[in-house]
Amino acid sequence: MVGATTLAEWFPENKLKAPGMGGRSVFYRNLEERLDTRRAENITFHVRHNEPSPDSIDFSTLDFLGLTHSGMIRQPFLDELAAHPDFKLGAGGSRLLNGNNPYTDEAEREIAAFHGTETALLFHSGFEANVAIMLAVPRPGDAIIYDELVHASMHEGMQGSMALCKRSFKHNDVDNFREVLADVRNSQSQIKQGNSSVIIALESTYSMDGDVAPLQELVKVAEEVFPEGNAQFFVDEAHTTGVFGKQGRGLVHQVGMQDKIAIRMHTYGKALACTGAAVVCESPVRDTLINFARGFIYSTAPSFPMVAAIRAGYKLMMTNQTQPLQDRIQQLVKYFFRTLEANPIWEEANDEGILQVPNMQDWEDKAFVTHVIPFMTRQRYTAYLCWHLQLAGINCFPIDYPAVPRGMNRLRIVFHAHNNEEDIDKLVSATCEWAQEMLDIEEAGEKSKLPAAARQVIAGRRSQKSDGVR
């Protein structure tokens, strides 16, 4: 587990730097001034050496199935390499020049067949794939309608999209979606006449809130508003690949909507413990990406080891080796909900807004639960809860603006197949211990008093200063 000194390094004080740079070039002063706007709000990002300590409990990483933790994917990957001993390490160019090969083609055919689509196209990352889709697929006259909480990569792509009409709808709000969809139909003549399309962008599971898109309801509304079929869906499955659906095919498959979704994007850096992403779709979409997605056209092709790792992950799914891991995650999250509800402090902490878990509501009535759980508390308390849990040997991190909307900071808890009931007992016990401490502070009217973990971290910062650490 980490100590207060390490946490002080991970969460340093944000002091303004630009005022003390009078003698430096305006180039560097301007950069520091921009950074100071974040330092002033205590929302700067840092690249930390914060991999989970060997003796801490992992409730943070995106290694959902535990393939990294267990090393389960290592041997299938090595087997792929051994089966092709003369593989070339570098691709040698873009796939439109010298970088393509039969091995990558075969991998894409396997991916497409597994997900029940006509074709697939590999990318280096999910971010790159999402940008490519939003840039290349919408045409002039088309419209993009997107859930307000979609990933930053979709927004990045939308900025350069040829679709001039871009409208968001309230997160997972089917009624508002209908209103926005109808308004776009009525205000965009090309779309109303059936000559242009509406691309509807969603995530199947939202990585910061841990909730699920109501796909069936959204598709039904789109078919009612656009019975001629010129409204099509693009779903980001980054956080459901390997975790939901038969053999890990994703949430779209789990809810039986694979024939209703034009474009799906699956990533491999999370549950499959490798890198890259694939767009699964019909051939017109793939050909459009190949011809108009600059990130694909001008990037060097995936290397052999990258594709080999992806194929190793798919072989684990295809042979049902990951299915028990999916099932285990479901069991553990449900155990967490039951254990938290049974803790005597939970009800008061929830009622007072000290600790709330939005996607826990009505969990017993849901067909499945998700593996991402946001702990919501008062905004200034989020770091305090993180520090308390870290000092208790639980690895987790807060998610702050701009990764989430202002005022919506949270501590993100991620469940893995390699967690166990004892881990969850410790998580619930430590969390409720902190909640009791905060309730006591508030009840005593000592709002300026810091909880014990925060005092330790601040003492660690002072110790660093006295030792000359900057």
Q: How far apart are CA 23 and CA 10, in angstroms?
A: 29
DSSP codes joined into one string, 136-186 = HS--TT-EEEEETT--HHHHHHHHT-S--EEEEE-TT-HHHHHHHHHHHHH
3-state secondary structure of 412: strand
3-state secondary structure of 92: coil
Q: How far is CA 454 from CA 15, 68, 233, 394, in A?
A: 18, 32, 45, 16
Q: How far apart are CA 59 and CA 274, in angstroms?
A: 19
pLDDT values of the chain reduced to their tens digit, one per residue, 470 residues = 788 888 888 888 888 998 988 889 999 999 999 999 999 888 888 887 766 667 899 999 999 999 999 999 999 999 999 999 999 999 999 999 999 999 999 999 999 999 999 999 999 999 999 999 999 999 999 999 999 999 999 999 999 999 999 999 999 999 999 999 999 999 999 999 999 999 999 999 999 999 999 999 999 999 999 999 999 999 999 999 999 999 999 999 999 999 999 999 999 999 999 999 999 999 999 999 999 999 999 999 999 999 999 999 999 999 999 999 999 999 999 999 999 999 999 999 999 999 999 999 999 999 999 999 999 999 889 999 999 999 999 999 999 988 898 889 999 999 999 999 999 999 999 999 999 999 999 999 887 799 999 999 999 888 776 665 54
Q: How far apart are CA 270 and CA 275, in angstroms?
A: 8
Cα pseudo-dihedral 379, 357, 12, 15, rounded to 10: -20
Q: Kindly report the backbone phi and psi dihedral angles of residue 8, in degrees, each rounded to the nearest multiple of 5, phi listed first.
A: -65, -35
Beta strands in 59-142 (DSSP E): 119-123
Q: How far apart are CA 329 and CA 313, in angstroms?
A: 18
Q: Positive or negative, the Cα torsion across 400, 442, 460, 17? A: positive
Q: How far is CA 293 from CA 112, 117, 124, 162, in A?
A: 20, 20, 13, 12
Q: How far is CA 176 from CA 158, 173, 361, in A?
A: 21, 5, 22
Could you give the count of Cα atoms lying within 13 Å of 372 in the half-sphere of its Cβ?
Answer: 25
3-state secondary structure of 51: coil
Strands 57-58 and 394-395: parallel
Query: Quick one: which H or E segment has residue 278?
Result: strand 277-281
Q: Kindly report the backbone phi and psi dihedral angles of residue 228, in degrees, each rounded to the nearest multiple of 5, phi listed first.
A: -80, -10
Q: Positive or negative, the Cα torsion across 198, 203, 209, 214? A: positive
CB count in 10 Å sphere of residue 94 = 15
> Residue with structure tokens 């992806």?
310
**Which residue from 253, 281, 462, 454 is spatially nearest to 368, judged by alpha carbons?**
253
- What single-letter DSSP state applies at residue 380? G
Give the long-range contacts of residues 431-435, CB within 8 A, separation 24 or more.
Answer: 431/340, 431/355, 431/375, 431/385, 431/389, 432/340, 432/343, 432/345, 432/346, 432/349, 432/355, 433/388, 434/384, 434/385, 434/388, 434/389, 435/345, 435/346, 435/349, 435/354, 435/355
- Residue ranges of alpha helices (H) inside 352-451 are 382-391, 421-443
Q: Kindly report the backbone phi and psi dihedral angles of residue 174, in degrees, each rounded to the nearest multiple of 5, phi listed first.
A: -65, -40
Q: How far apart are CA 430 and CA 416, in angstroms?
A: 19
**Which residue from 153, 104, 127, 147 is spatially nearest to 306, judged by alpha carbons?**
104
Strands 397-399 and 119-123: unpaired
